[in-house]
């Protein structure tokens, strides 16, 4: 099922939208904490976001720009504000469409279907742009790793190491497998080179609170 995230402070309207979209087979989540929307987006990893503009604390434009820092998920703004300036601003900040309240459920579904078709039409499946492990989120497109509200950018090798470990979470990945993934070469690569890369990565992860995230299994390899 396709996950849709609703960011709307009018609970009655949010429930109405959720109920209607669920009837069309979508898996719908409603925002729980309007003060920490980005963290909810990271945890849910939706394929579409429906975003109100008039929200407490920060408006929808702010949250859209924050989400765009780590994810390219399509965002449809839903608002009673109908000025050209609001519509233009929503597009400039990364919005994909704009629906003016009040609207019919049929119009909403049509726009949702159009955005999903346009965004994911070149894929047979809706592939994820992020990989999650507990509170850790690896952004594939941006080569960034997030932990709670912090993140660091990863080098090419660092990304490959984290990627293979998270994909094999709970299992030990031997050193030869990681070396082959990193350098993809028949040439001899010193194991010390891998050790240096692992140590640098551990130090970088420690800056965002991920101390001891990568565990060494002596004589076997690494795991998370």
**Sign of torsion over alpha carbons 167, 170, 176, 178:** positive
Mean pLDDT (whole number) for 32-51: 93
Superfamily of domain 3-120: Response regulator (3.40.50.2300)
pLDDT for position 144: 87
Which among 10-14, 174-178, 216-220 has the top mean pLDDT? 10-14
Q: DSSP of 112-144, one letter per residue?
A: HHHHHHHHHTT-SS---SEEEETTEEEETTTTE
Read off the pLDDT of residues 17-36 as tens digits, 9 standing for 90 and up. 999 999 888 999 999 999 99
C-beta of residue 63 within 8 angstroms of C-beta of residue 37: yes
| Residue closest to 134 by CA, chosen among 57, 195, 213 | 213
* 134 pLDDT more than 60: yes
pLDDT for position 178: 87
pLDDT for position 50: 98
Read off the pLDDT of residues 61-116 as tens digits, 9 standing for 90 and up. 999 999 998 888 999 999 998 888 889 988 888 899 999 999 998 899 999 999 99
Mean pLDDT (whole number) for 153-166: 90
pLDDT for position 139: 82
Read off the pLDDT of residues 160-172 as tens digits, 9 standing for 90 and up. 899 899 888 889 9
C-beta of residue 220 within 8 angstroms of C-beta of residue 196: no
Confidence grade of residue 122 (pLDDT, cut at 50, 70, 90): very low
| Residue closest to 75 by CA, chosen among 109, 25, 112, 26 | 112
Q: How much of the chain exceeds pLDDT 70, in percent?
A: 93
Mean pLDDT (whole number) for 187-213: 85
| Residue closest to 154 by CA, chosen among 209, 202, 110 | 202
Mean pLDDT (whole number) for 209-223: 90
Q: How much of the chain exceeds pLDDT 90, in percent?
A: 49
Task: Return the residue matching tokens 């109908």.
Answer: 82
Mean pLDDT (whole number) for 134-161: 85
**Four-way CATH pick for 130-223: 3.40.50.720, 3.40.640.10, 3.30.300.30, 1.10.10.10:** 1.10.10.10
Per-domain residue ranges for the chain?
3-120, 130-223
Separation CA 121–CA 123 (nearest Å)? 5
């Amino acid at each position: 099922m396709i996950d849709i995230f609703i960011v709307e402070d009018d609970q009655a309207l949010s429930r109405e939208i959720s109920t209607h979209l669920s009837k069309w087979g979508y898996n719908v989540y409603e925002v729980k904490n309007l003060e920490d929307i980005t963290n909810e987006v990271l945890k849910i990893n939706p394929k579409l976001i429906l975003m109100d503009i008039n929200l407490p604390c920060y408006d929808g434009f702010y949250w859209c720009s924050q989400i765009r820092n780590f994810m390219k998920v399509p965002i449809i703004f839903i608002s009673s504000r109908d000025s050209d300036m609001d519509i233009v601003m929503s597009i400039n900040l990364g919005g994909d469409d704009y629906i003016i309240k009040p609207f019919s459920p049929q119009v909403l579904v049509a726009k949702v279907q159009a955005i999903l078709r346009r965004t994911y039409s070149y894929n047979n499946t809706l592939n994820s742009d992020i990989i999650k492990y507990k509170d850790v989120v690896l952004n594939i497109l941006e080569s960034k790793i997030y932990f709670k509200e912090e993140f660091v950018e990863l080098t090419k090798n660092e990304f490959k190491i984290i990627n293979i470990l998270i994909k094999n979470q709970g299992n030990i990945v031997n050193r030869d497998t990681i070396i082959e993934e990193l350098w993809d070469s028949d040439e001899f690569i010193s194991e010390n080179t891998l050790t240096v890369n692992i140590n640098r990565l551990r130090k970088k992860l420690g800056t965002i609170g991920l101390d001891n995230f990568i565990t060494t299994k002596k004589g076997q390899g690494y795991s998370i």
